[in-house]
A = this chain, B = another copy of it.
């Protein structure tokens, strides 16, 4: 686009300009950013980020500046081109999987091959027999075939047992017949399958002949060719396509897919865990039916770690912009020369600074879940052998954290956006696409409300065990909290949360145990219906997960581990304030539960808002350096408001005046003519696009 040469090029922003302001903000704090960055992200990660970013920034195809102007079909084309280029760069620079994932993360625009490298590859790896692995994995690794993962259907998502797609075993032909009996049986949402993939792992109800009729044996995975490798067209027995525009993920081709008596060979059934004997037709059941949980749990730990970075992005943009933006003079000092920095208003601080603290809270718990998962995995080399009890604890834990973390992040992006006022609604935030994409997270990998039942079910079971026997064997942490509560119930402990940090953690655990006790009473003693308790279960899961966040945050900051000892004392003091802010802000939001459970006195709860104000005042000068520590590059932020150098207004104007294709056209505003572009004679042309 040619640069219009006009008087606007001479103009500067009103003083003080953003670059000056943000430099002063950085002078107000002595946090060692490099140190804190390495503490949070690890030097390996930061080095990888630098390395991959240097390569991506050389390539025009990864420029984000104008992609928001493109049509949906062009967004897909761009996504496909980017996916190809990423893989070419992987070949060229010998990127490992983590490098490739870093490239995807930085480009931040889902690419249509994504399900091939994630769920499809994982499904084949975990569900295929050794023989099947040997055949498929090399083709998959070389992208000779492109695969998708087709589980969800139009009529069924969360409830996998309800899926309608059938795979009937035909003992004569020794083939399976894939069939969609209804329109609701259509596969739906399956990424990469809509336009890109030529293969898919299809989850279908296995149907076997029994007493002269077909009987269902539950959902099983089949690897199925969907499109011809030359023409890229499906056979007549498969109808497949992209479901159309969604909230986000414009470049991804989420699919619908129907099968009409589509025959696949016996070898199509991925048979690591269960199989059909081709000769006898005898079915072998999976040894460990819970093996599927491992993958789900891993997915959730990734989601929690991702939530912290997504929220950190939104908070980075908000903190930087809001410290530069000034609006209104202080009511009590109307003659001050400068208007007030928006981040100095308490009504803005109360929205942003607790979220800043939340990024750290999520970090320490995300790290905890990852460690726990890896520890459980290490008990044996295969997932099948993972100890059932630990897996069940981890599973319930990760479900609650997934729910809370993605809710905090999704809601947090919007809180950040609204805090930025008018410019928060504009394209210059860098949050438009992030928000639209991220809004999927409260739903995928287990709906955030639905999965809290799992947490409650687990906690009620544990509470029941402890209520009957306090001192059986070695107790888990949760069981210890239950024990403390059951012993201490009558004493109303009133933890001194304003004076002792450990008391804050104790108060969160006490309140969790109290709500668990009530849920146990309601379900096990009063025998109330499951459905009537679901809201209480959701509150229990939230209380449990908040206690986890608070506890892990405190453990991490209070510890004298090597990791924490590497930080300056002043930085550690700020981290401790962030812990207090997160915990006490959360406590204030849920004050009545802390009061009713007897964990904190009403007098202390009344003092929380003042305490939160005091903590925010202490943290405020460090806000810019704290977001800097998350080390989110400008390329990823793609935000005029959040750029590192503070040139907010210059960039907003540049994007509008120089980067907007709409400004290349002159229009005809006369309503009596249907011409749109002045002098083009294009009357009626736009109709053809509808």
Q: For the complex, give the distance between the alpha carbons of A123 and B80 in Å.
A: 49
- In whole Å, how far is A103's beta carbon from the nearest beta carbon of chain B? 14
Tell me the complex Cα distance, A12–B532, Å. 34
Known: A244-B427, A426-B246, A609-B535. A669 touches B197 (CB 8 A): yes
Q: Could you pull out 26 A-B pairs where Cβ atoms are within 8 angstroms?
A: A6-B236, A8-B258, A11-B258, A13-B184, A66-B689, A69-B245, A73-B661, A74-B686, A80-B667, A80-B669, A81-B686, A84-B673, A143-B671, A154-B653, A156-B327, A232-B668, A241-B660, A242-B662, A243-B427, A243-B660, A244-B426, A247-B425, A248-B425, A344-B531, A351-B449, A421-B443
- A182 beta carbon closer than 8 Å to chain B: yes
A30 within 8 A of B: no
Find out whether the CB atom of A239 lies under 8 angstroms from the CB atom of B70.
no
Interface string of A394-424 (1 = CB under 8 A from B): 0000000000000000000010011101101
Query: Are A666 and B69 closer than 8 Å at their CB atoms?
Result: no
- A144 nearest CB across to chain B (Å): 9
- The closest CB in chain B to the CB of A346 belongs to B534
Given contacts A159-B328, A332-B530, A596-B602, 20 further A-B contacts (CB under 8 A): A11-B180, A11-B185, A14-B182, A78-B686, A87-B671, A157-B422, A159-B339, A232-B669, A233-B666, A241-B663, A243-B426, A244-B660, A247-B417, A247-B425, A248-B425, A331-B531, A345-B531, A347-B535, A532-B613, A536-B609
Which residues of chain A (600-634) have a CB below 8 Å from chain B?
Answer: 602, 605-606, 609, 613
Given contacts A183-B649, A660-B242, contact A687 B60 (CB under 8 A): yes
CB of A275 within 8 A of chain B? no
Is A68 interfacial (CB 8 A cutoff)? yes
A:434-476 near B, CB below 8 Å: 435-436, 439-440, 442-444, 447-450
Contact (Cβ within 8 A) B196 A162? no
Q: Is residue A524 within 8 Å, beta carbon to beta carbon, of the partner chain?
A: no
Q: Is A246 touching B346 in the complex (CB atoms < 8 A)?
A: no
Contact yes or no, A69 B66, CB < 8 A: no
**A572 at the B interface (CB under 8 A):** no
Asked whether any CB of chain B lies closer than 8 Å to the CB of A77, the reply is yes
Does the CB pair A77–B425 fall under 8 Å?
no
Q: A60-B690, A154-B649 are in contact. Are A330 and B427 (CB under 8 A)?
A: no
A449 proximity list for chain B (CB < 8 A): 347-348, 351, 419
**Contact in complex: B425, A244 (CB < 8 Å):** no
- A588 to chain B minimum Cβ distance, whole angstroms, is 9
Smallest CB separation, A41 vs chain B (Å)? 30
A40 within 8 A of B: no
**The one of B72, B159, B231, B327 that contacts A327, using a Cβ cutoff of 8 Å:** B159
Interface set, chain A 628-664, CB cutoff 8 A to B: 649-650, 652-653, 655-657, 659-663
With a cutoff of 8 Å between Cβ atoms, the chain B residues found around residue A650 in the complex are 183
A632 to B73, CA, bound (A): 31
Chain A interface bracket (under 10, 10 to 19, 20 to 34, 35 or more): 35 or more
Chain B residue with the shortest CB-CB distance to A439: B425
A652:B7 contact, CB within 8 angstroms: no
Contacts of A78 in B (CB 8 A): 686, 689-690
Which residue of B81, B260, B432, B531 contacts A674 across the interface (Cβ within 8 Å)? B81
A483, chain B: closest CB distance, angstroms: 26
3 nearest interchain CB pairs? A331-B530, A68-B245, A71-B71
Chain B contacts of A435 at CB under 8 A? 247
Report chain B residues within 8 Å CB of A253.
662
Contact A182 B12 (CB under 8 A): yes
Query: Whole-angstrom distance between the alpha carbons of A351 and B595 in the complex?
Result: 25
Q: How far is the CB of A145 from chain B (nearest CB, A)?
A: 9
Which residues of chain B are near A595, meaning CB under 8 Å?
A: 592
Select which of B70, B83, B239, B606 is within 8 A of A671 by beta carbon. B83
A609 to B328, CA, bound (A): 42
Asked if A665 CB lies within 8 Å of chain B CBs, one says: yes
Determine the distance from Cα of A677 to Cα of B180 in the docked complex, in whole angstroms: 29
A164 lies within 8 A of chain B by Cβ: yes
A4-B13 Cα distance, complex, nearest whole Å: 56
A140 CB-CB contact with B under 8 Å: no
C-alpha gap A74/B73 in the complex (Å): 13
Chain B residues positioned under 8 Å from A183 (CB to CB): 8, 11-13, 649-650, 653
Instruction: Given A443-B424, A591-B592, decide whether A69 and B73 contact each other with a Cβ distance below 8 A.
Output: yes
> Which residues of the other chain, B, contact A181 by a CB distance below 8 angstroms?
11, 14
Q: Residues 332-359 of chain A: 1 if any B CB is under 8 Å from the residue's CB, otherwise 0?
A: 1000000110001111101100000000
Q: Which of B155, B188, B424, B606 contacts A596 (CB 8 A)?
A: B606
Is the Cβ of B418 less than 8 Å from the Cβ of A442?
yes
Assess whether A327 is in contact with B185, with CB atoms less than 8 Å apart. Answer: no
Residues in chain B near residue A529, CB distance under 8 A: 332
- Chain B proximity mask over A225-243: 1 for CB below 8 Å, otherwise 0: 0000001110011010111
Decide yes or no whether A174 CB sits under 8 A from chain B.
Answer: no
Q: Does A186 contact B (CB under 8 A)?
A: yes
* Residues of chain B contacted by A146 (CB below 8 angstroms): 669
Across the interface, name the chain B residue whose C-beta is closest to A685.
B77
Output the nearest chain B residue to A432 by Cβ-Cβ distance: B247
Assembled-state Cα–Cα distance A113/B667 (Å): 13
Q: Verify if A552 is at the interface (C-beta below 8 Å from B).
A: no
Residues of chain B within 8 A of A427, CB atoms compared: 243-247
**Nearest-CB residue, chain B, relative to A325:** B155
Question: Cα distance A78–B650 when bound, in Å?
Answer: 31
Alpha-carbon gap, A629 to B480, bound state (A) = 54
Say whether A88 faces chain B, with CB atoms less than 8 Å apart. Answer: yes
Assess whether A678 is interfacial by the CB under 8 Å rule: yes
Q: Which residues of A, 80-124, contact B by the 8 Å Cβ criterion?
A: 80-81, 83-84, 87-88, 113
A189 at the interface (CB under 8 A from B): yes
Chain B residues with CB below 8 A from A272, complex form: none
A195 within 8 Å of B (CB atoms): yes
Residue numbers in B under 8 Å from A687 (CB-CB)? 60-61, 81
Complex CA gap A469/B432 in Å reads 53
CB–CB B73/A662 < 8 A:
yes
* Distance (whole angstroms) from the CB of A370 to the closest CB of chain B: 26
A659 touches B244 (CB 8 A): yes
Residues of chain A in range 526-546 having any CB-CB distance to chain B below 8 Å: 529-536, 538
Q: Which residues of B contact A88 (CB under 8 A)?
A: 671-672
A613 to B157, CA, bound (A): 27
Q: Provided the pairs A247-B425, A417-B439, A686-B81 are in contact, do residues A534 and B328 lie with their beta carbons within 8 angstroms?
A: no
